Chains A and B, each alone.
Chain A
Amino acid sequence: MQSDTLLISPDDLILITGAAGFIGSRLVENLLDGGYRNLRCFARPSSAGGRIEALSDLHRDRARIEVFKGNLLSPEDCAAATKDVAVIFHLAAARGEKSFPDAFMNSVVTTRNLLEASLLHGCLLRFVNVSSFVVYTNMQKPTWRLLDESCPIEKHPAQRGDAYCFAKVKQEEIVTEYGKKFGLPYVIVRPGYVYGPGNEGITGRVGIGTFGVFLHLGGSNRVPFTYVDNCADAIALAGLKQGVDGEVFNVVDDNLPSSRQFLRLYKRSVERFRSIYVPHALSYGLCYLWELYSKWSEGQLEPTFNRRIWHSYWKKSRYSNAKIKMRLGWMQKVATQDGFRRYFEACRRRVQSA
């Protein structure tokens, strides 16, 4: 990156929330590799900070890495953590949380606390909000059409039946609101499915194992994978590049495999298991029936499967990373083939140790 296009100097203070997490720890590494020498890593008191501490030891002579243990629900912790900070990379999220209030609290209330704290100090140059592809509605878009940053986001996120989607849509809303109301400079990054060692699960976009057998729902769909290092690189650029305030960037890798290709590779490289392919028309019909039943039965079954979630997860779509390449100069550093090789190795180790 050319230094004249950068927002901050290497000595400016950067705050990373969720720094001990899957993407956060890679982002810290990425920033250190980029020459940034003043990092504050926000982590929960219970977070295993081994990776951050190892990085801190490794860069002891060249960088100052402060591990800030705290709770983003505490305005006092947020105020202390954001003091003198030039850029915030906000990655902490309530991923995997099934409860709407908990997901909301750990994504939206925490984000509001950080934004408020940033306003208090008045020194923030950019707030990078790490969101997700789940915010896109994909409802009105015809099959196979391109899903990019111009696509609409979910207007009724509560109806998706997915607490994470609800929380992420609301989180983006509050960031945008603070941007408009208080002129707070922000960028939103929406990664697709971030994979790599440390996240060895199979994305629900490929299929689900909820009912005792793996139902393969993706079929010939392209899956919007992004390897964790590539994603961290994109997030870093979104925080450091000048002139992109208020913009949204999708992050997906090139040469995306189809769901079927991925599953075949996974079975060949990691472990064999039985899966049943559910054609798109059938999965759509089943989701619709589930939705109707949930409504008729007054929630006897939660609307976990419904048409909105089908459109978001299992509708055939194409994805683009043209904007992030053009505006931020992002390039995929880890090739998709290499990414999958490392990921499958990690999956194999996990299976063997289980």
Chain B
Amino acid sequence: MLKVAIVGCGKIADSHASQIQRVKGCEIVGVCDREPLMAKQLYERFPVKQYFSDLTTLLSEAKPHVVHVITPPESHFDIAKICLEWGCHVYVEKPFAISESQARRLIALANERGLKVTAGHDDQFSHVARRMRTLVQSGFLGGAPVHMESYYCYELGRSGYAGALLSDKNHWVRRLPGKLLHNIISHGVARIAEYMTSASPQVLAYGFVSPLLRGLGESEIIDELRVIISDEERTTAYFTFSSQMRPALHQFRVYGPKNGLVLNQDQETLIKLRGPRYKSYVEKFLPPAMLAGQCLENLGTNLRRFLVKDFHMKSGMKYLIESFYRSIVEQTPVPIPYREILLTAKIMDAIFAQLPMEGSQPQQRLTSAVNTLVV
């Protein structure tokens, strides 16, 4: 039986505890939060053996094999490091660390100790993301991706978290180098990193505070971001984060030399874009009919999965957890290659390095960034 512990008992801890208890062959031996009441409430609501308010007490008394680190990101590195030093495998929620250098150090430590780590990029393991991966691996694109577009949007108005963040000048999110973006965009960036082959792609980022937030007196939370990523001029990608555009997309588009794919995370649909064109008016009629057919096929797949109780909102997280545990027990490769974790962190570092300091003008910044790229 794999012994699992959770460190950090905030909002996302519920998802972890729910999904862990669905995975066979493991048990939650302890939960920990520096606020004992928070640890206790999680312990009371889930089948958990003990609760703690001190990390080393958890590690010494509960003796977990795996620790899920789901505290605010600025503490990920220190907590994951301690867990690795105690001989535990570590699942770290996104963002894996607050810089590539921290991510590199954690991975090196894990390798040194013969332990495994993974990042909480669970969106990459939803049913639809796995279907996309299978198609790409089977050569559907007709070669390496030529271009990708990743949209990861966020509706500020629908989130209590956003309210707390905007109202609190000392909120932990404000202490992150990329602030709001740092806590959110890694899902969307990781999708791009998966299909990039270079270890150091060029990154051009442009971010600004939306008029809505500026109107609320906010000047430091950047909630609009556009990024161009170029992989040694072979593969390019656009990344878009927006709090204002509607619909608030969570989409990933990948185009190869022959065909393309469009993944819609919210609707869990995958649309195949056919490269070759039909002749004359056939192009106007047949592809729309085929598109309708694909939509129906997606509907059928989703319904079927729902009916066999395999369509949980966090199914990607369960799959990732299960795969990670299996990689530990069976000594197989980790579900997310370390290269991808590092590349995601590196792209994010490059983005945040280019984001404006408070008070500078967006247009000046863009011009300056373009000049830098041209030079």
Binding site of B, secondary structure by majority: helix, strand, loop or mixed? helix
B: number of interface residues (CB 8 Å): 24
Expressed in whole angstroms, the Cα–Cα distance for A101 and B35 within the complex equals 12
A112 to B36, CA, bound (A): 11
What is the interface size of chain A, counting residues whose CB is below 8 A from a CB of the partner? Answer: 24
| Residues of chain A in range 66-103 having any CB-CB distance to chain B below 8 Å | 71, 97, 99-102
Beyond A99-B14, A101-B11, whether A45 also contacts B45 by CB under 8 A is no
Which residues of A270-327 are within 8 A (CB) of B? 296-300
In the complex, A70→B37 CA distance in Å?
21
- Whether B312 contacts A300 by the Cβ 8 Å rule is yes
Which positions in A face B, CB cutoff 8 Å? 44-47, 71, 97, 99-102, 104-105, 108-109, 112, 158, 166, 170, 174, 296-300
Give Cα A17 to B168, complex, Å: 17
Q: Which residues of B contact A300 (CB under 8 A)?
A: 306, 309, 311-312
Query: Inside 8 A of B166's CB, which chain A residues have their CB?
Result: 46
CB-defined interface of B124-155 with A at 8 Å, one 1/0 digit per residue? 00000000000000000000000000000000
Kindly list chain B residues whose C-beta atoms are within 8 Å of the C-beta of A296: 309
Verify B14–A101 contact, CB threshold 8 A.
yes
B66 in the interface (beta carbon within 8 A): no
Which of A44, A71, A99, A166 has the most CB atoms of chain B within a 10 A radius of its CB?
A99
Whole-angstrom distance between the alpha carbons of A101 and B160 in the complex?
12
Asked whether A109 and B167 contact (CB < 8 A) given A101-B13, A158-B45, A297-B309, the answer is no
Choose one: B10, B44, B169, B306; the contact of A158 (CB below 8 Å).
B44
Across the interface, A46 reaches (CB within 8 A) one of B18, B42, B163, B306, namely B163
B38 within 8 A of A: yes
Q: Are A298 and B167 in contact (CB under 8 A)?
A: no
Bound-state Cα–Cα, A25 to B38, Å? 30
Additional A-B contacts beyond A109-B35, A109-B38, A166-B41 (11; CB < 8 A): A46-B163, A97-B160, A100-B41, A101-B41, A101-B42, A102-B10, A105-B10, A108-B41, A166-B45, A298-B22, A300-B311
A104 & B311 in contact (Cβ 8 Å cutoff): no
Query: Nearest chain A CB to B72's CB is how many angstroms away?
Result: 13
Known A296-B309, A299-B312: A170·B167 in contact at CB below 8 Å:
no
Residues of chain B with a CB closer than 8 A to A71's CB:
168
Smallest CB separation, A305 vs chain B (Å): 17
Q: Which residues of A contact B119 (CB under 8 A)?
A: none
Residue among A109, A112, A300 with most chain B CB within 10 A: A300
B8 to chain A: closest residue by CB? A101
Q: How far is the CA of A298 from the CA of B22 in the complex (A)?
A: 7
Contact A45 B37 (CB under 8 A): no
A298 engages B38 (CB within 8 Å): no
Chain A contacts for B45, CB-based, 8 A: 100, 158, 166
Q: Given the complex, which residues of B lie within 8 Å of A299, measured CB to CB?
A: 18, 312
Which residues does chain A contribute within 8 Å of B160, judged by CB atoms? 97, 99, 102
Bound Cα distance from A249 to B342, whole angstroms: 58
Contacts A46-B163, A298-B312, A299-B312; is A109 near B37 (CB within 8 Å)? yes
Question: Do B41 and A170 touch (CB < 8 A)?
Answer: yes
